[in-house]
Chains A and B, each alone.
Chain A
Amino acid sequence: MKFHRIKGLLWNYYYFSLNSLDRIFDVFYWPIVDILIWGFMTTYIKGISDFNIVNLILGGLILWVFLWRSSQDIVTYLLEHYWSRSLYHLFVTPVSSMEMITALAIMGIFRSMISFVVLSIFAYLFYQFNIFSVNPFHFMLFVSLLTLFAWGLGLLVSSLVFRWGSRIQVLAWSTIWILQPFSCVFYPLSTLPPWAMKIASLLPTTYVFEGLRASLTGEPVVYSQLLFAFILVIIFLMVVSLFLIKSIDSAKKKGSFAKPE
């Protein structure tokens, strides 16, 4: 891997963002709309019940947005290459798939950090919720796990795009939302029916959001669950990496980078 090539790709993604209102909206608009809706709703619920739900919902939402942006941006910027038909010129350069994925992942993290900071400020200003009230060690664990999982998800959808092209671009926006009901972002695992619990127990995100709730309510965080989540994420990343390599090979065999879509 060569740093100047990763830097070149990051500049490419920066220019994509700079010239596209869509990409700027992604970072600010939807996360802010989300926090306003959920914030006002939880403020209302808080008014009719004794339970302080605001922190739990907003904490879950901020970390969810972090996961959502990180994973989706990897695919969105890959799709930008398809939409602008620039893959041809990109793949005749010495850029390797690893360098491309690294640049996409860095861009994803960078943009999700912006969303995270914006949301944290909004949550504090509007609802007096401070995400940094979570134990810093726990917070770092949650963010690390979500980052790795987001990369895995982003790479999974990227692999599908490499294999079948931009005609399956709908997955870039929809995949993450399939996981949300099972990730227990806003409610505990025990709320789910048994069949959904089985699915949820296989998702690392479930343990992150369970841990977040425990941390916010002052209950002990179960480290064995976070360790299990970490193992799940690592296995997921390994499988997805192999799938990605196979998908790029398949695209090269089919000549997808040299054919207009």
Chain B
Amino acid sequence: MDTVIVKNLVKTFSTRNGKIKAVDDVSLSIRKGEIFGLLGVNGAGKSTLINILSGLMTPDSGKIFIFGKDFEKYEEEIKGRFNVATAYYALSHNLTVLQNLKVFAKLYGVRNAEQKINQLLEKFFIFNLRNLRVVTLSSGEKSRLVLVKALLNDPELLFLDECTVGLDPDMAELTREFLQEYNKRTKCTILFTSHYMEEVERICQRIAFMDEGKIVKIGNAKEIIKELEEQKVELHFSANIKKAEEILKELKISYTKEQNKILHFSILNQEKIIFPILEKFIHKNVPFDDLHLKKPTLEEYFIKKSREK
């Protein structure tokens, strides 16, 4: 069963320059236990979609079903089973870490709240900060606190809106590991947005690309990357670079030279397509010292799509 089903969702905002469709006829479904990535440039509609799904905003039209139930009718019940973490909103800054978490534990009706809070604080290495006011925390510590809050009610669905922003690389890595482990252990469905493509490529099973409020592509990272037509090749030589150039000319492959030692060229993004080229080099006795085959990444796809606009 799909945890989230969105049907023909539309959200328009009125601005001084006219109406803007932030979410334009979006339909998608997120499977139970899936980590689903949502990507797009700033203003693509990702946060608006998450805000609608988490009940902070009402859509103009469209339907949302979460846990198989109509979100409009069962909002209160559904909200008790999910949670949200975002890097953009900290908890109440005038309250201490512990006070904030105690309040949210009560709002979610968490049993053994104190024990749960302490466990999570330790997990995210902020136990020693529990009596400090939120206003005194660094942005990374605030992000970790929001993550602790988001895990208080053992959510079956998590909306994570750029939740690793502000975390140092080590903490970001620990957070990703924790989320993957949590997802595996609890089968919690996660909707994840991030500007770090590597992060999304690594932890998300499927990814949706949003552009101008529309979903333009859905699939797993490999499928999406396949759409990129080229992979880059870098051949390093200590000698015979002229012979190597001749081979490439013969194969009608355009290339660039670097310091008379390295040749850069592109080939089609297909499996094993490099083999016949390399065979030619071996056959013609043109040895190379090193070979770098750079497969396209999600980041390149993202950049390509953004620039196409």
Question: B-contacting residues of A (Cβ < 8 Å)?
Answer: 2, 4-5, 7-9, 11-12, 15-16, 19-20, 80-81, 83-86, 88-96, 249, 252-255, 257-258, 260
- Per-position binary interface string of chain B over residues 19-47, scored 1 when its CB falls under 8 Å from any chain A CB and 0 otherwise: 00000000000000000000000000001
Given known A-B contacts A85-B89, A92-B84, A93-B79, A258 and B107 have beta carbons under 8 A apart: no
Closest to B78 in A: A94
Question: In the complex, are the beta carbons of B92 and A11 less than 8 A apart?
Answer: no
- Per-position binary interface string of chain B over residues 48-86, scored 1 when its CB falls under 8 Å from any chain A CB and 0 otherwise: 100100111110000000000000000111011001101
Cα of A254 to Cα of B80 in the assembled complex, Å: 24
Question: In the complex, are the beta carbons of B57 and A252 less than 8 A apart?
Answer: yes
Question: A-contacting residues of B (Cβ < 8 Å)?
Answer: 13, 47-48, 51, 54-58, 75-77, 79-80, 83-84, 86, 88-96, 99, 102-109, 133, 146, 149
Cα of A8 to Cα of B48 in the assembled complex, Å: 28
Given known A-B contacts A94-B77, A94-B80, A86 and B58 have beta carbons under 8 A apart: no
Question: In the complex, are the beta carbons of A2 and B94 less than 8 A apart?
Answer: no
Given known A-B contacts A19-B133, A89-B104, A255-B13, A96 and B76 have beta carbons under 8 A apart: yes
Question: In the complex, are the beta carbons of A2 and B109 less than 8 A apart?
Answer: yes
Closest to B133 in A: A19
Chain B CB within 10 Å — which of A84, A90, A93, A249 has the most?
Answer: A93
Contact partners of B90 in chain A: CB under 8 A: 85
Instruction: From A89, A96, A252, give the contact of B58 (CB < 8 A).
Output: A252
Cα of A2 to Cα of B79 in the assembled complex, Å: 14
Contact partners of A253 in chain B: CB under 8 A: 57-58
Closest to B135 in A: A84
Given known A-B contacts A9-B107, A255-B13, A92 and B79 have beta carbons under 8 A apart: yes
Cα of A41 to Cα of B91 in the assembled complex, Å: 46
Question: In the complex, are the beta carbons of A92 and B83 less than 8 A apart?
Answer: yes
Q: Can you pick out 30 interface pairs between chain A and chain B where the beta carbons lie within 8 Å of each other?
A: A2-B109, A4-B106, A4-B107, A4-B109, A7-B106, A8-B105, A12-B95, A16-B92, A16-B95, A20-B94, A83-B94, A84-B92, A85-B89, A86-B92, A89-B84, A89-B91, A89-B146, A89-B149, A91-B56, A93-B79, A94-B75, A94-B107, A95-B107, A96-B76, A252-B56, A252-B57, A253-B57, A254-B13, A258-B47, A258-B51
Question: In the complex, are the beta carbons of B103 and A8 less than 8 A apart?
Answer: yes
Contact partners of A19 in chain B: CB under 8 A: 94-96, 99, 133
Min CB–CB distance A190 → chain B (angstroms): 48
Contact partners of A2 in chain B: CB under 8 A: 109
Instruction: From B56, B58, B86, give the contact of A249 (CB < 8 A).
Output: B58
Instruction: From B56, B80, B103, B133, give the contact of A88 (CB < 8 A).
Output: B56
Contact partners of B51 in chain A: CB under 8 A: 255, 258
Contact partners of A89 in chain B: CB under 8 A: 84, 89, 91, 104, 146, 149
Closest to B88 in A: A260
Cα of A5 to Cα of B104 in the assembled complex, Å: 9
Given known A-B contacts A4-B109, A91-B55, A93-B79, A84 and B93 have beta carbons under 8 A apart: yes
